[in-house]
């Protein structure tokens, strides 16, 4: 591991067009799971100027069964989509929650996929697709996330809160951030560059208004990033292209699943390639990514390592994972093979089958729209939300290693 290096991560706001699409897709997941905890959903969303399009495969009791929509179901879907866009804050000429055109192209799940996933007879519920999933944790921050991504998310969260509250009325929903930190060993020691691009109201790209916006962004950065990391040598790029009045889906088309690195670890960890939003928890792209984060976070929280990467692999229709891989990057207090063995001994994980994961983490609930902006990881577990962020496996790991 290098002793001194720069590392960068980015984030995007809830108003970024791809994140608008993610939030709509997960709003549909939540809607269907609220009706039927065993619903099957694969919902993709396209957003562009005054248009939202849904496409994908579904199965849900009381909503869509035997190739037929229940009365009023499609109206409820449209209301859910419009409410999501309204909550984000889009009331612009080029994208307005009340007047955009809406298309619903969801249809029934393939019977050939269903037969592989559904439990029947002596067959356990299988994985909803093949694939590899990665989880990661590091002791950079209290939430055991890479510091570059953690601060990138927090900058935009504060700006969004100020926009919603009226404290920063010149802000519009679309924004991006990027944080570069210098590391010495495994610890961040200095913020070398901060990039923030934010959609703004008219006139905020010149004169005194531009100065106000720049001063505001720097004040947010100062709230989020520890003072010890900031200095006169920190370089700021705030709206470096100049004007950013046209944004959101009017400025650029948005698609579900295009911000998978923002959703996960900011590039600090490998990624299996599968997106999360729009998918019910039988899809291991989502549920197995959550269990690997849960395991990695608990391993670091238990003091077994400073950094940890975990990989799982699955085959469609097959319940048991094909492989488990643990890498503590030379920071482990015990061998990585011993940690792998310990994980296999913990009965409550249910062998990390799709059913075992969903049961242990309680994933068959409408808990997903909150995940679709500012990252799926490093969030505070509250009630049913973000259960994979709990550190309640520490004692089990220690006992399994005893």
- Residue 200 designated active-site: no
- Residue 22 designated active-site: no
In this structure, the answer to whether residues 299 and 338 fall within a common structural domain is yes
Asked if residue 126 is part of any domain, the answer here is no
Rg (the chain; Cα; Å): 22
In this structure, the answer to whether residues 95 and 228 fall within a common structural domain is no
In this structure, the answer to whether residues 196 and 305 fall within a common structural domain is no
- Residue 283 designated active-site: yes
In this structure, the answer to whether residues 43 and 108 fall within a common structural domain is yes
Structural domain containing residue 273? 131-139+259-401
Number of structural domains (the chain) is: 3
Asked if residue 122 is part of any domain, the answer here is no
Asked if residue 363 is part of any domain, the answer here is yes
- Residue 154 designated active-site: no
The whole model's pTM is what? 0.95
End-of-domain residue from the set 204, 227, 247:
247
Residue of 153, 176, 297, 360 marked catalytic: 176
Asked if residue 362 is part of any domain, the answer here is yes
- Residue 44 designated active-site: yes
Residue of 258, 293, 358, 376 marked catalytic: 258
In this structure, the answer to whether residues 42 and 151 fall within a common structural domain is no
- Residue 244 designated active-site: yes
- Residue 337 designated active-site: no
Residue of 124, 162, 205, 252 marked catalytic: 252
In a structure prediction context, what are the per-residue pLDDT tens digits for the chain, which is 402 residues long?
Answer: 678 999 999 999 999 999 999 999 999 999 999 999 999 999 999 999 999 999 999 999 989 988 899 999 999 999 999 999 999 999 999 999 999 999 999 998 766 555 556 655 555 677 878 899 999 999 999 999 999 999 999 999 999 999 999 999 999 999 999 999 999 988 999 999 999 999 999 999 999 999 999 999 999 999 999 999 999 999 999 999 989 999 999 999 999 999 999 999 999 999 999 999 999 999 999 999 999 999 999 999 999 999 999 999 999 889 999 999 999 999 999 999 999 999 999 999 999 999 999 999 999 999 999 999 999 999 999 999 999 999 999 999 999 999
In this structure, the answer to whether residues 57 and 104 fall within a common structural domain is yes
Asked if residue 123 is part of any domain, the answer here is no
- Residue 252 designated active-site: yes
In this structure, the answer to whether residues 293 and 347 fall within a common structural domain is yes
In this structure, the answer to whether residues 284 and 389 fall within a common structural domain is yes
Residue of 10, 14, 19, 36 marked catalytic: 19
- Residue 18 designated active-site: yes
């Amino acid at each position: 591991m290098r002793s001194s290096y720069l590392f960068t991560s980015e984030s995007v706001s809830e108003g970024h067009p791809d994140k608008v699409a993610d939030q709509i897709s997960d709003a549909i997941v939540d809607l269907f799971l609220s009706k039927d905890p065993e619903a099957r959903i694969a919902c993709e969303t396209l957003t562009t100027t005054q248009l939202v399009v849904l496409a994908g495969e579904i199965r849900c009791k009381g909503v869509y069964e035997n190739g037929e929509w229940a009365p009023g179901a499609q109206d409820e879907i449209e209301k859910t989509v419009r409410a999501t866009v309204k909550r984000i804050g889009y009331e612009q000429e080029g994208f307005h929650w009340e007047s955009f055109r809406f298309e619903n192209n969801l249809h029934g799940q393939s019977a050939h996929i269903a037969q592989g996933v559904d439990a029947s007879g002596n067959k356990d519920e299988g994985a909803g697709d093949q694939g590899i999933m990665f989880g990661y944790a590091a002791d950079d921050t209290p939430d055991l996330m890479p510091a570059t991504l953690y601060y990138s998310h927090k900058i935009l969260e504060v700006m969004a809160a100020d926009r919603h509250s009226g404290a920063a009325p010149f802000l519009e929903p679309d924004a991006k951030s990027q944080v570069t930190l210098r590391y010495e060993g495994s610890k961040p020691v200095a913020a070398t560059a901060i990039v923030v691009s934010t959609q703004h109201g008219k006139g905020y790209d010149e004169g005194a208004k531009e100065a106000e916006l720049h001063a505001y962004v720097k004040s947010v950065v100062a709230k989020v990033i520890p003072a010890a990391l900031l200095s006169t040598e920190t370089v700021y790029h705030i709206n470096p292209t100049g004007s950013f009045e046209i944004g959101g889906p009017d400025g650029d088309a948005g698609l579900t699943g295009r911000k998978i690195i923002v959703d996960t670890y900011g590039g600090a960890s490998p990624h299996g390639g599968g997106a999360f939003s729009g998918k019910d928890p039988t899809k291991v792209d989502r549920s197995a990514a959550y269990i690997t984060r849960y395991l990695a976070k608990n391993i670091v929280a238990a003091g077994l390592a400073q950094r940890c990467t975990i990989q799982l692999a699955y085959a469609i229709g097959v319940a048991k994972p094909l492989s488990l891989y643990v890498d503590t990057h030379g920071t482990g207090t015990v061998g990585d093979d011993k940690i792998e063995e310990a994980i296999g001994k913990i009965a409550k994980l249910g062998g990390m089958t799709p059913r075992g994961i969903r049961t242990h983490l309680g994933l068959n609930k409408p808990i997903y729209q909150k995940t679709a902006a500012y990252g799926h990881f490093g969030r505070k577990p509250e009630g049913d939300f973000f259960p994979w962020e709990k550190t309640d496996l520490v004692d089990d790991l220690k006992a399994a290693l005893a």
